[in-house]
């Protein structure tokens, strides 16, 4: 299924509503190893993004989402997610719709943007630990001929497993790293919200 502006909008709406429904859970996770603002931060940013949804191409839509997250969400996650959406948009260019492979490649450009900005590696207990397995699963499924909806469902599963796998990790980046060994035993909030991002994509692309 090619990704056009209306599918991009649907994805953002779905993600915003998932984040807002999970606001308390994300807050609780961030209270354990951070400052407790992740649910409120992201929910505020995504609500603002939904309020400004517009554009003729998927890139137009996602560029605006990125800009909105950067300007309305404080903390680490706003600039990180915001950069990801802006890089996705940049990679999509001005096409009216993106084929599945081009969309997967654009998502990878988004991950690269997060890594460039945040300098985290796999195993540092961050959102990267959900993004990396999600995109690997997405590429693998598309490579074996799955539809975007099925591939996104695989990506969502892998992202959720990646988020769960952050629990025994000790944080080496972001606010949670200040806790040192006390960050062990809690699931990373940003990896958890990333799993929701891929679940939202799976839902709208199904």
- CB of 158 within 8 A of CB of 137? yes
CB atoms closer than 10 angstroms to residue 189:
32
Residue in the structure block whose two tokens are 């950069």: 83
77 binds, among Mg ion, ligand ADP, none (CB under 5 to 8 A by kind): ligand ADP
- Rounded CA gap, 57 and 128, in Å? 27
Is 125 near Mg ion (CB under 5 A)?
A: no
Closer residue to ligand ADP (CB): 8 or 120: 120
x/- string (CB under 5 A) for Mg ion, residues 36-75? -xx-------------------------------------
In whole angstroms, the minimum distance from the beta carbon of 17 to ligand ADP comes to 18
Pick the stretch among 87-95, 120-128, 144-152, 196-204 that binds ligand ADP (CB under 6 A): 120-128
List the end-to-end C-alpha distance of the chain, in Å, as a whole number. 9
User: In terms of DSSP H, where are the helices of the chain?
Assistant: 5-21, 23-33, 38-51, 58-72, 77-92, 100-118, 128-143, 148-164, 189-205
Residue in the structure block whose two tokens are 């605006």: 64
Is 34 near Mg ion (CB under 5 A)?
A: yes
Binder of ligand ADP out of 10, 12, 16, 38 (CB under 6 A)? 38
DSSP 180: G
Is 46 near ligand ADP (CB under 6 A)?
A: no
Pick the stretch among 15-23, 59-67, 118-126, 150-158 that binds ligand ADP (CB under 6 A): 118-126
Pick the stretch among 17-25, 28-36, 95-103, 137-145 that binds ligand ADP (CB under 6 A): 28-36
DSSP 101: H
Q: Give the closest residue to 173 by CA, choosing from 121, 130, 96.
A: 121
Binder of ligand ADP out of 66, 188, 197, 205 (CB under 6 A)? 188
Provide CB contacts within 8 A for 200, sequence distance 6+: 11, 14, 15, 18
Binder of ligand ADP out of 80, 92, 152, 202 (CB under 6 A)? 80
- Residues of this chain that interact with ligand ADP (CB under 6 A) are 30, 34-35, 37-38, 41, 75-77, 80, 114, 118-120, 126-128, 173-175, 188-191
């Amino acid at each position: 299924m090619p990704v056009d502006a209306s599918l991009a909008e649907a994805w953002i709406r779905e993600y915003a509503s998932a984040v807002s429904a999970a606001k308390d859970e994300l807050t609780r996770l961030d209270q354990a190893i951070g400052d407790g603002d992740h649910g409120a931060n992201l929910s505020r940013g995504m609500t603002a993004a939904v309020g400004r949804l517009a554009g003729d191409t998927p890139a137009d839509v996602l560029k605006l989402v990125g800009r909105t997250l950067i300007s309305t969400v404080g903390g680490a996650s706003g600039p990180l997610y915001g950069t990801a959406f802006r890089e996705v948009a940049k990679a999509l260019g001005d096409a009216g719709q993106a084929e599945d492979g081009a969309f997967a490649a654009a998502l990878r450009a988004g991950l690269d943007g997060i890594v460039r900005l945040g300098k985290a590696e796999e195993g540092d207990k961050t959102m990267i630990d959900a993004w990396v397995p999600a995109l690997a699963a997405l590429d693998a499924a598309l490579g074996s001929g799955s539809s975007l909806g099925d591939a996104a469902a695989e990506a969502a599963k892998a992202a959720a497993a990646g988020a769960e796998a952050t629990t025994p990790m000790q944080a080496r980046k972001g606010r949670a790293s200040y806790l040192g060994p006390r960050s062990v035993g809690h699931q990373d909030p940003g990896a958890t919200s990333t799993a929701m991002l891929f679940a939202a994509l799976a839902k709208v692309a199904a």
